[in-house]
Amino acid sequence: MVASTTPFVEFNNVWLAYNDELLAKEQFAVEDINLEIQSGEFVAIVGPSGCGKSTFMKLTTGLRRPTRGLIRVNGEEVTGPLKISGMAFQASSLLPWRTTLDNVLLPLEIVEPHRSQFKAKKAEYEHRAIELLKRVGLGGYERQYPWQLSGGMQQRASICRALIHEPKMLLLDEPFGALDAFTREELWCILRDLWTEQRFNVILVTHDLRESVFLADTVYVMSKSPGRFIVKRDIDLPRPRDLELTYTSDFADVVHELRSHIGALRTGQPVPSSTLTPTPNARV
C-alpha cells in the first residue's frame, strides 16, 4: 500500500451538524473526520449503533454537504450527488412493479450519458444486466418480480443495480444485515469476486466484524455519537481470501482486537492501546 498516489477519497476536517439548531448547540453527528482512501481500496467502517456511519456514507456520496471541512473525490470537491457511485442499503428497495431486470437497469435510465442513449442501446444494456445477474447467481430470474425472490436474492439484485453503471465507488450500508449467516457468507464471496475483477472502491458500513476483516483492506472504527474515527486497522491478511481464512487464529486475533475497541466504546471505557494506529491521519 503506497501513499505516493493522490487519494481517491479525501476528507479534511469534516464536521456535520444536521441542522442549524444543532449547530448552534454544537451537537454534531460526525466530528473531525480526516481520512484518505486510495483508488480501488476496500474500506470497512464499524462502530456502535447510531454513531454516524450512515451519515459518513451520505457525506461521501454527496447526499449531504459538510458543515465544516472539505470532501474531495477523484480530486474534485464534492458539491452534490456523485454519478460515479452506486449504493445499496440494508433494505433492498427494489421497485415492486418492475421486474428484476428492469430494476437493475434503473440507474441507466437516470445517469448520463447512459440516459440519453438508453433507447438506442437498450439491447446492449439488457445484455449487460443479464450478465451481471448471472455473476451473482441470479441467472434465469430476470423476469421475476422482487416479491418472488427471497431476501438474499433481492439483496444480490440490489448490488447488481448498484454496479450496472460501472461506478468507481460502491457504498454499502449494512447490506447483509437482514440475511441469514450462510447467505451472508455467500454474498461476501460474490462481493469479493466482483471487487477483485473490477477494483472499484468499496466503502462498507457494517456491524459484523468478521465481515469487515474478511473483505476489507482497511477497517475504521467509529466512536459513539458524535462519530469520530478513533482506530484505523490495516488488514494484512493475504489475498485472495477464502472463507476458510475466517477460521484461522490470525483472523480471530484481528477480530478480537477490533471487538475490544467496540466493546470499550459501548461501555464508555478507555480504548485499549495496541499495535493499532490511534488516529487515522497519516497513511501507513
If the CB atoms of residues 12 and 99 are measured against other proteins, the closer one turns out to be 99
Q: How far is the CB of 227 from other proteins (least distance, A)?
A: 19
If the CB atoms of residues 67 and 93 are measured against other proteins, the closer one turns out to be 93
Q: Does 178 contact other proteins by CB under 8 A? A: no
Q: How far is the CB of 119 from other proteins (least distance, A)?
A: 16
Q: How far is the CB of 63 from other proteins (least distance, A)?
A: 6
- The residue within the footprint of other proteins, chosen from 30, 87, 191, 230 (CB under 8 A), is 87
- DSSP per-residue string spanning 138-167: -TT-TTS-GGGS-HHHHHHHHHHHHHTT--
If the CB atoms of residues 85 and 223 are measured against other proteins, the closer one turns out to be 85
Q: Does 63 contact other proteins by CB under 8 A? A: yes
Q: Does 71 contact other proteins by CB under 8 A? A: no
* Window contacting other proteins (CB under 8 A); options: 2-10, 41-49, 75-83, 221-229: 75-83
Residue 249's SS3 state is: helix
Q: Does 93 contact other proteins by CB under 8 A? A: yes
Alpha helices in the chain (DSSP H): 20-24, 53-61, 100-105, 114-117, 122-135, 151-163, 181-198, 209-215, 249-267
- The residue within the footprint of other proteins, chosen from 22, 32, 34, 91 (CB under 8 A), is 91
- Copy the grid coordinates of residue 89: 442499503
Q: 201 near 39, Cβ under 8 Å?
A: yes
Residue 177's SS3 state is: coil
- The residue within the footprint of other proteins, chosen from 165, 233, 241, 261 (CB under 8 A), is 165
Percent helix, strand, coil in the chain, to 5, is 40, 20, 45
Phi, psi of 267 (to 5 degrees): -95, 0
Q: Does 154 contact other proteins by CB under 8 A? A: no
Rounded CA-CA distance 157/212 in Å is: 21
Nearest residue to 226 via CA among 20, 35, 47, 43: 47
- Copy the grid coordinates of residue 252: 480471530
- The residue within the footprint of other proteins, chosen from 19, 97, 268, 275 (CB under 8 A), is 97
Q: Does 61 contact other proteins by CB under 8 A? A: yes
Q: Does 111 contact other proteins by CB under 8 A? A: yes
* Residues engaged in binding other proteins (CB under 8 A): 61-63, 80-83, 85-87, 89, 91, 93, 95-97, 106-107, 109-112, 145, 147, 161, 165, 171
